[in-house]
Structure 1
Amino acid sequence: MLSRAFGTGLAAIAALAASPVVANPADNHRTIAATPPMGWNPFNAFRLNYDESTVMAAAEALVQLGLKDDGYRYVNIDDGWWLRRDAGGITIRTNLYPSARLPDGTTSLKPFVDRLHAMGLKAGIYTDIGYNICSQRWEKATANLPEGNRGQREVGSLGHQLEDARAFSAWGFDLVKVDACGIADFGADLPEVMDGTYRPLGPIMLRERPGASDIARVEKLYADFAAALRKARPANPLLLSICAWGDADVNNWAGSYGQMSRTSSDINASWGAMLHNFDSAAVRPLFAGPGHWNDPDMLEVGNGDFDGNHLTEARAHMSLWAMIAAPLVLGFDLTRASPDILAVVRNRDVIAIDQDPAGNQGVIIAQQGDGQIIAKALATRGHKALAFVNRGDGRLHLSVPLADLNLSAQGVHLRDLWHGRQGTLRDGVVSVDLAPRETALLRIEARPIEAKVSVPADMPARIHVTEAGYLPPDRITRNQWVPARIGFLPSGTPITFAGRQETASIGVGAGAHLMVDLRGEFRRLSLAPEHVATDAYVIKVDGKAVPHGPLRNEALDLDLKGARQLELIAPAAKGEGASFIWHNLRFERQ
């Protein structure tokens, strides 16, 4: 059980790191990626061993198999499309993309993109934020590496942001994925740098070492690229997919510039890798919402541990991505799609959970051993998705009281989205028995116990971390330190009271700033900042500070009538205290 006293002994104030200021994603161009993007990418199935015909075959399969109508519309090419960079820009590798060869001797991907658009699909392209690209470091055996002298082989965007943004826009692309190998993997000690093959750069970003990374410079590089996209095509800029693998505190600033942000290293088709990537995004519901999505990487459904011989795992993988509102990007060979795998990725009830217009990411409400329970509030009040997850190799029984979801046990409609069965509900408790590696995904429709009350777990997409506050030096992806979490301290310690996890509470780093989009829809808020004699915290309603004194076991009751915005600013670190809890936030609607 977690004490309610301020100060959790997580680190001394001497370890206080610089805290980035994060722009409010609500101010971002939300019309781009209002729901998580869906589509297909060749890399998981083919690595770099594909060409234009491979991509067009997949595009045709998206249409013919009905996947386009299910929402899978982005067709994204990956690394390997370029031949070299010349004075006039990038020359395309026409042996792979023959339609790029124009009569005047120049090259353009516009004919390729036009074909995709004519099929009712969208097109995505790939680049890197540095001078060089991932394949030059990690795919050395491919025949499709850039050619020419050192300068010509520098096909990454650094120094060419606006030039490349204008080319991608002119070619008609709808999305650009911007990788980060160029600023992480070409340091002076790399043999290919030492022998002059590549120009040295940094590393500016060190993998799993944010304290040693030049975070401000990494952020600026992506900010500059986002600005170039807006300048190149102001009325309809490309969707920006930031691929910095969860490093350089990317989740604290990515929502200011891009619509997708990778939270981890590349996925592979193994159960362990899938869980690792899921975990990297699942702990960050306060960093996602319409126009800015956590991206745990492409789906491996159809491959390896998730192929037609492993349908339990395939359904689990699809369920978990849907619960955390992840982009659904297929990565298997669509021309060899089995009916069973198609049934997994075409389950429209599951897709609807991912694409729910409220944009809430699911919140972990309970976890013990190999068992995990995740709840996701849907756009219709009283409608929720509930995932019971067995991460292990033994059978498992999990249950949750409906009261923990603020739902009445009367008149409940409960449906299993994979098997169509009615779930087990007894004495107000939902229970499931799970096979090894199984995830049960349920949709619940019920009457809220408190009809007009919402807690943070009901509205994570409305809550934004605008300043991260305390950041420990060991905040690497594996440690999963998150500046703000519903129901947990940033360290991952559950916030509990009377034996139950508090999904109405938010744990934050000391000094963190939260902003809540109220939109004039609430009349009052009750909350209990940590029950201690401190008045160092700040609460603002529409920019005006709310007067208060030290709290000693009493709650605050705030008038929110007509208010558009609420700010919650935690006290700065004091002594050994590195975190703060906003207890029992209860928003009452008009």
Structure 2
Amino acid sequence: MRRRGTVAAVAVLLAGLFTSVQPAAASDNGLSIRPAMGWSSWSFVRRWPDETKMKAQADALVSSGLATHGYVYINLDDFYQKCDSNGFQVDGFGRWAVDTAKFPSGIKALADYVHAKGLKFGFYVTPGIAKNAVTANKPIEGTSYHAQDIADTSQTHKNYNCKNMYRLNYSHPGAQLFINSWANQMASWGVDYLKIDGVDATTVADVEAWDKALRQTGRPINFALSNNLPIAQATTWKRLANSWRTQGDVECYCGPGSNGSGFPLTDWSHVSSRFNSAASWQQYAGPGGWNDYDSLEVGNGDQVGLTADQRRTHMTHWAMISSPLLLGTDLTALTSTDLAMLTNDRLIAVDQDGVAAQRIVNSGVNQVWRKRESNGDYIVALYNTGTSGNSTVSVTWSQVGFTGPADVTNLWSGGSEGTVASSYSATLRPGETRLIRARPATASPHYEAEDATISQGVVESNHAGYSGSGFVNYDNIVGSYVEWNVNATAAGNANVTLKYANGTAVNRPMTITANGTTLTRDFPGTGNWDTWATATFTLPLVAGANTIRMTATTANGGPNADYVDVSAPTPVGTEYQAEDATISQGVAESNHTGFTGTGFVNYDNLVGSYVEFAVNTAAAGARTLTIRYANGTAVNRPMEVTVNGTTVTTQSFPATTNWDTWVDGTIPVNLQTGANTIRLTATTAGGGPNVDRITLG
């Protein structure tokens, strides 16, 4: 029997997307199937929000035309509350009191004003209960409990305004009921988006309580977490919320006003620092849950603290990594240049395709990021992240994920760049970007699931959005599978993309096998059974006939499977196992899963520990060096890469969630004919990451 659940309907139909490995199912509240877009008060209005300013920004969001391009949220951040010497003043039930001098008509009236313009209203809170509520022992609305019953006065929460927030004792039933009452109040006001700030590893219980509280209101409220959340709990944030801030504030706090307010709002270092963060967090983004890299500071020209090139790069990168696009600038003073950036629908579509890009080149100031969209196109962004000097940034199509020529379109200008044979280069000014769409001339082979071998499943057509004549509905048992027969023109690694749907709130993992390689991948909820997503993974193929089998590993069976696309295989480069290399101050181990060969190298935790590979090449020239590594800490472990005694670069090796998760980092190198040495040396006291192997492409 095939059981198919339902979840709340979503406003946007997900036509299909490419996702990386999803380590946990996304929030199943049916919201934020695409990243949120709108405006937030913190960057520009900062500590002085009021009713008049909020209405003016809402008016400008509409009159500028931004709303028609998808920017629909007007979010009120901190400092709307009223404080005294003991912290937040509270209402009769212990919840924060709104400062009536700032908001004389009240929050509901403001939300009604925003809604009347066809927009959505966002609000702000932090964990805990106010000291004043506990001191006065305020009752919990609708219950016999009081604030002193539920407060843990021995501990306080992080708060950026009035401070004095006690932690809640969630072992007492009144604690959840207090949060419910607060959420109900917000829902009655018409809140559509709630940011809970001050979240960290110690506040998981608070996030869980707010998630429950928002759900029980019956009102769809987009749930956002802030800020600088630890990546070690990434799967928790993904399960509970619709977005989560991966770093501290993008604002520089370097303006002339109090607390660094006023222009400039940010600077290049605060924006460019998001590149490494995005590489680390990429795997957690997907429908229903997004990595939030903070406000988009585009709108008011150079005075925001970024040049025009840097602002275009800022928007390009937020779109590539599918971050929420929440503007922080003054919408009442938009420049024509910046408005043109913000309303470029080609850029907005890159953000809203719901695919978080991967970094494939990271060499000095040069970076290249890529993502594959559901129609088979590749979106590629080339960056010069430096602050001085032009730089030529290059990438091959094989690095991007396909072979053969491609038709290239410049997405900022919309102009065609014609057919490009096998690689792409751009000479970029400091802080400049080039964003292109590459459409391979030869489409990837396409294999429908209904034409494959099906074990314990059935072909159906009762959900919209599939291709071909139907899709496969797996039986709800362990071991049900679909097996495709595919052909490859040559041996090598191929990108295999599965289009799938999972209308439940439960992850449906499967094993994927081909030619002796077995992968395990998660297939989280996609919102409903008519909403399709794509997942791409790399499998080794032999020349000629191959079989690819996808097998359910739980009693829920697999997701609905529509088809697989298979890219042309890329010849596998020469591999060198780390355990066979020269190891200085480290050890070969095998106590974590997923390595290749017989093990991996665990660096000693000190500066200067290294692994040195002896490699041979038939001819001198450029090569792509791929380093397969794992970093189970929350801290970057950079290494110096030297070739034949010459330093090539110092490469970042950011966190990979845990020590069983392996990823590839690529570096362009030049080798001489015959013998070469490649040394990877730790540059910090944390040592290097675990290294599995290197590959020379």
Same fold at TM > 0.5: yes
Between Structure 1 and Structure 2, the one with more strand by share is 2
Larger Rg: 2
- The separation in 2 between residues aligned to 1:218 and 1:119, in whole angstroms, is 36
Shift of 1:46: 2.0
Match of 1:370 in 2: 365
Cα gap change, 1:391 to 1:539, in 2 (>3 Å): closer
Specify the code of the residue in structure 1 equivalent to 2:350: I
1:240 aligns with 2:223: yes
CA contact (8 A) 1:86 1:152 kept: no
- TM-score (norm. length: structure 1): 0.64
CA contact (8 A) 2:408 2:439 kept: yes
Choose the corresponding residue for 2:114, options 106, 116, 121. 116
- The separation in 1 between residues aligned to 2:550 and 2:231, in whole angstroms, is 37
Cα gap change, 1:576 to 1:524, in 2 (>3 Å): closer
Specify the code of the residue in structure 1 equivalent to 2:81: W
Match of 1:423 in 2: 417
Match of 2:39 in 1: 40
CA contact (8 A) 1:403 1:449 kept: no
Match of 1:571 in 2: 593
Choose the corresponding residue for 2:550, options 543, 557, 560. 560
Match of 1:526 in 2: 514
Match of 1:249 in 2: 232
Specify the code of the residue in structure 2 equivalent to 1:402: W
CA contact (8 A) 1:408 1:447 kept: no
Match of 1:533 in 2: none
Q: CA deviation digits over 1:185-239, x for unaligned, max 9?
A: xxxxxxxxxxxxxxxxxxxx5xxxxxxxxx4x52222111101111122xx3311
Gaps of 5+ in 1: 1-21, 101-108, 140-144, 182-204, 206-214, 455-500, 506-514, 530-536, 543-552, 584-590
- The separation in 1 between residues aligned to 2:513 and 2:594, in whole angstroms, is 23
- Counting only pairs closer than 5 Å after superposition, residues 132-171 of structure 1 correspond to structure 2 as 138=160, 145=162, 160-171=178-189
Match of 1:262 in 2: 245
Shift of 1:288: 0.6
Shift of 1:58: 0.6
1:344 aligns with 2:344: no
1:72 aligns with 2:88: no
- The separation in 1 between residues aligned to 2:418 and 2:396, in whole angstroms, is 12
1:94 aligns with 2:88: no
Match of 1:200 in 2: none
Match of 2:392 in 1: 397
- The separation in 1 between residues aligned to 2:53 and 2:238, in whole angstroms, is 33
CA contact (8 A) 2:125 2:195 kept: yes
CA contact (8 A) 2:509 2:521 kept: no
CA contact (8 A) 1:528 1:582 kept: no
Which structure would you say has the larger RCO, counting Cα contacts within 8 Å and 6 or more residues apart?
Answer: 1
Q: Secondary structure at the match of 1:86?
A: coil
Choose the corresponding residue for 1:176, options 194, 202, 210. 194
Match of 1:85 in 2: 90
Choose the corresponding residue for 1:334, options 331, 340, 350. 331
Specify the code of the residue in structure 2 equivalent to 1:86: D
Specify the code of the residue in structure 1 equivalent to 2:119: L
Match of 1:219 in 2: 204
CA contact (8 A) 1:61 1:335 kept: yes
Q: CA deviation digits over 1:307-329, x for unaligned, max 9?
A: 49721111000000000000000
Match of 2:270 in 1: 273
- The separation in 2 between residues aligned to 1:59 and 1:349, in whole angstroms, is 24
- TM-score (norm. length: structure 2): 0.55
Cα gap change, 1:448 to 1:245, in 2 (>3 Å): farther
Alignment coverage as a number of residue pairs: 430
CA contact (8 A) 1:398 1:431 kept: yes
Q: CA deviation digits over 1:32-54, x for unaligned, max 9?
A: 01100000012111211221111
Shift of 1:516: 11
Choose the corresponding residue for 2:407, options 384, 406, 413. 413
Gaps of 5+ in 2: 1-21, 83-88, 132-155, 169-173, 252-265, 449-491, 503-507, 524-539, 561-590, 603-658, 665-697
Q: Secondary structure at the match of 1:281?
A: helix
Between Structure 1 and Structure 2, the one with more helix by share is 1
Q: Secondary structure at the match of 2:71?
A: coil
CA contact (8 A) 2:159 2:198 kept: no
Q: Secondary structure at the match of 2:204?
A: helix
Shift of 1:561: 7.6
Match of 2:24 in 1: 24
- The separation in 2 between residues aligned to 1:51 and 1:446, in whole angstroms, is 52
Shift of 1:135: 12
1:231 aligns with 2:216: yes
**Aligned CA-pair RMSD:** 4.1
Shift of 1:437: 0.6
CA contact (8 A) 2:157 2:165 kept: no
CA contact (8 A) 2:379 2:436 kept: yes
1:285 aligns with 2:282: yes
Shift of 1:280: 1.5
Cα gap change, 1:306 to 1:441, in 2 (>3 Å): farther
Specify the code of the residue in structure 2 equivalent to 1:98: P
- Counting only pairs closer than 5 Å after superposition, residues 437-476 of structure 1 correspond to structure 2 as 437-448=431-442, 450-452=444-446
- The separation in 1 between residues aligned to 2:312 and 2:515, in whole angstroms, is 39
Specify the code of the residue in structure 2 equivalent to 1:571: T
Shift of 1:138: 4.8
Match of 2:379 in 1: 385
CA contact (8 A) 1:263 1:294 kept: yes
Q: Secondary structure at the match of 1:220?
A: helix
Q: Secondary structure at the match of 1:443?
A: strand
Shift of 1:301: 1.6
Cα gap change, 1:446 to 1:54, in 2 (>3 Å): same
Shift of 1:254: 0.5
Specify the code of the residue in structure 2 equivalent to 1:63: V
Q: Secondary structure at the match of 1:373?
A: strand
CA contact (8 A) 1:23 1:256 kept: no
Q: Secondary structure at the match of 2:230?
A: coil
CA contact (8 A) 2:241 2:289 kept: yes
Q: Secondary structure at the match of 1:249?
A: helix
CA contact (8 A) 2:381 2:436 kept: yes
Q: Secondary structure at the match of 1:423?
A: strand
Shift of 1:62: 0.7
